[in-house]
Structure 1
């Protein structure tokens, strides 16, 4: 452990740690008192609203100016509602709805909820332009594939959150929407030149900056024309030359979780990544979700050692802490000009539903939900039509382990509704749907990011553009099956 108290406090002031459990362990509170910037809360920290409010109050009591962050994107990525699914439709649905005023109202309400619970830094919105249909980590977290439309919704989301006194964090700079790999698991490459980046990936970040976003999160992606072999999180060309120099951003640069393999493998360790990120121009370092006291202190010690051995100028560390301190002060003084609108998410989700083909009312169908893995960002959150339907039988199946003939026999004379996320990517799903449609009226409900694939014999194809609680209710209402 460092013996230099001044440097130790500075190092602590750049870190967002995390902890397991529904109450803060002693070390997590003690480090806040010693200068730790804050903590990020995850679903495993949250049981219900009263418990969460008590938890956040215990963290704020450690000292003034504590940052408490959370990934509350709405839609598929929710921490507040991880037990039931979010009451908000998520970015893709808001983008399809096409009304930035509604996006602002949704994010204002999310912000008001967070503020009421003592959470002051929302690691949202996701502003990546999702140009890859098979993007495994962004997808419905994006407002869409058109840079200018995404930019308009980005500005609305930032303004909505910050009108409630909660700092926004536009992510993932310089743009994660064109990747076919998940940076939690590897280092994705986006091999484009700067002109493409400026025209496609950057407009939403420009809009976020113009809207006054207090922070921007880095991406663990490689853009060879800018970053060489390194991820953007460790690239001064991205964080200083491009983001601060060209785009004029003067707020806090936040890293995506340094434990993610897209960063940790390149750096060699999480503490080494902390030094590389600070050296590149980052200010506030998310360590990750699987964090304890030992890892947090290892990051502190490595930062202090880097100052001593010349890898990290102390002025760079002081600059980062000054920005983080100013952000925390803004969250304490920010105007709460707007408050929440309970229920705003459900009509928005319904308005985003798109129907291709013909829907038949009448006989309750057999509902077949296709099992799929959750993304690491979303975690295991309930999804589907389950709680929204009371008049139809529902079964859950693994597509490539299911016999279409058996499902047809189970359905009998009933129509079949197949519900899935990214159906076109699920092994065996296309063949299963086509097999069911050979003899039955089939409707497909796509709750992920749709591709160009449409089953040739299905009667209808419904796209909800997300799998939140609100999206599920909207699908049930569209099918005439709502409880």
Structure 2
């Protein structure tokens, strides 16, 4: 290489390195540094709840992004149910995956995801990290649960394919996740490194079935999971060429492989964000989701993005990352971006927000299951039975309690207030999910006391309550969000 060639090649590699990065950022408008990197060739941006005020603001933001680079991809985690960014304040107007699996109507799933996709398309979001293609066979799974369509691989496969098709009809790129499957794990990869402890036979007969269906449905993107598959070595799937070869060679996927966020502890703790970025590209990933600078919140988005680009270029120079592998990844992402820019330019009608809300509510109602006699409630107290929330979903019990109280003309009260009782109120409604702790601590004692005297329990999770703890009336929604809260309220009002 001559001296005059070296600067040109440096520029090519830097542009390619930026072309595989999709960072998060802080704020509700496009930062100057991010706009500049988009013009240099960066793949796109990833939106989180803190980037969203309302639809009008998001549309203005995405317009800024696409003005700087038309083929840039704007991505967000919008699954419906418990996981939403666009509706993070009030909850998703669409039911989540498990509720749709309970309803078990693939045409309904396709319609719901087309509706969800239409709202994303209207505000300029190109990619949603959905559908969740995990087969959730582990009730104690702390991070998937109701985000999955269920525990049966064939049922999950049918709904995954329908979701991919519905999103595609709306003009939005689906991204099936978390390959090769996060549903049978008991560790949250945001916090530590899970192990998918299955042999190859089970992997192919269960975990891979929905991903194969997504590939047949022509899903344009698949997201990797940060989890170890023992039969493929010690590296997590995101960094593991053996696992990614299964996706490419065995399942025949030729689209974009996107990583789960590189700031998650499952990979960041062992390899660092820069190390994980290089290993992921070397393993066969094309697009690097960097993550959310607000949470875990230990890095500056601009400095981190620049450092990752530099690390990728340096890895090529050292021989740790094949030059052609980087350029291949860049070409694949750029090609998808160009095709999406063409779709985005096509005219589309406006979505009817009220009609969408009604459709989501009706879809969520298909999943509601009631045990016992529905009581008469008059302006009840509504109380959440505590429990945390995983990082992917956020504080979802708040959505249910507030939604139920509003729909039933009641009020939200703290558990300690509910325990004391309020004779002037018209009943007690409890809300629980898969994070509700009914163990032996003081909080669990309060929960059991409330369960013993409540009028109805609205349970949003997939786990069964311990024997003897279930009240006389249980309404199961199999997911959170505004749609499921409204559907539960309809039951409690006797509207169903």
Asked if 1:249 is matched to 2:253, the reply is yes
Aligned with 1:349: secondary structure? helix
How far, CA to CA, are the matches of 1:337 and 1:442 in structure 2?
A: 51
User: By how many angstroms is 1:230 displaced?
Assistant: 1.3
Moved more, 28-37 or 43-52: 43-52
How far, CA to CA, are the matches of 2:83 and 2:127 in structure 1?
A: 15
| Residue of structure 2 equivalent to 1:281 | 284
Kept in 2, the 8 Å contact 1:17–1:38? The answer is yes
| Residue of structure 2 equivalent to 1:342 | 356
User: By how many angstroms is 1:408 displaced?
Assistant: 5.6
| Residue of structure 1 equivalent to 2:183 | 177
Q: For this pair of structures, how many residues does the alignment match?
A: 471
Out of 35, 54, 65, which is 2:60 matched to?
A: 54
| Residue of structure 2 equivalent to 1:325 | 334
Change (3 A) 1:252 1:10: same
Provide the TM-score with structure 1 as the length reference: 0.92
Out of 482, 487, 491, which is 1:469 matched to?
A: 482
Over residues 115-155 of structure 1, what are the superposed CA-to-partner deviations in whole Å (9 max), with x where a residue is unaligned? Answer: 12111111111111111111111111111111111000000
| Residue of structure 1 equivalent to 2:266 | 262
How far, CA to CA, are the matches of 1:284 and 1:257 in structure 2?
A: 10
How far, CA to CA, are the matches of 2:451 and 2:266 in structure 1?
A: 41
Change (3 A) 1:282 1:390: same
For structure 1, the 5+ residue unaligned runs are none
Out of 234, 238, 249, which is 2:239 matched to?
A: 234
| Residue of structure 2 equivalent to 1:305 | 314
Kept in 2, the 8 Å contact 1:434–1:457? The answer is no
How far, CA to CA, are the matches of 2:61 and 2:73 in structure 1?
A: 13
User: By how many angstroms is 1:266 displaced?
Assistant: 2.2
Matches within 5 A, 1:418-429: 418-422=430-434, 425-427=437-439
Out of 383, 386, 407, which is 2:402 matched to?
A: 386
Asked if 1:369 is matched to 2:387, the reply is no
Over residues 417-468 of structure 1, what are the superposed CA-to-partner deviations in whole Å (9 max), with x where a residue is unaligned? Answer: 2112226535556644543455x45321112222353544621121111110
| Residue of structure 2 equivalent to 1:410 | 422
Aligned with 2:68: secondary structure? coil
| Residue of structure 2 equivalent to 1:271 | 274
User: By how many angstroms is 1:414 displaced?
Assistant: 5.5
User: By how many angstroms is 1:262 displaced?
Assistant: 0.4
For structure 2, the 5+ residue unaligned runs are 1-5, 294-299
Moved more, 336-345 or 367-376: 336-345
How far, CA to CA, are the matches of 2:482 and 2:490 in structure 1?
A: 12
Kept in 1, the 8 Å contact 2:19–2:43? The answer is yes
How far, CA to CA, are the matches of 2:112 and 2:421 in structure 1?
A: 43
Change (3 A) 1:15 1:140: same
User: By how many angstroms is 1:63 displaced?
Assistant: 2.2
Provide the TM-score with structure 2 as the length reference: 0.90
How far, CA to CA, are the matches of 2:311 and 2:435 in structure 1?
A: 45
Moved more, 231-240 or 112-121: 112-121
Over residues 383-425 of structure 1, what are the superposed CA-to-partner deviations in whole Å (9 max), with x where a residue is unaligned? Answer: 124243343343122xxxx49xx72643589543211222653
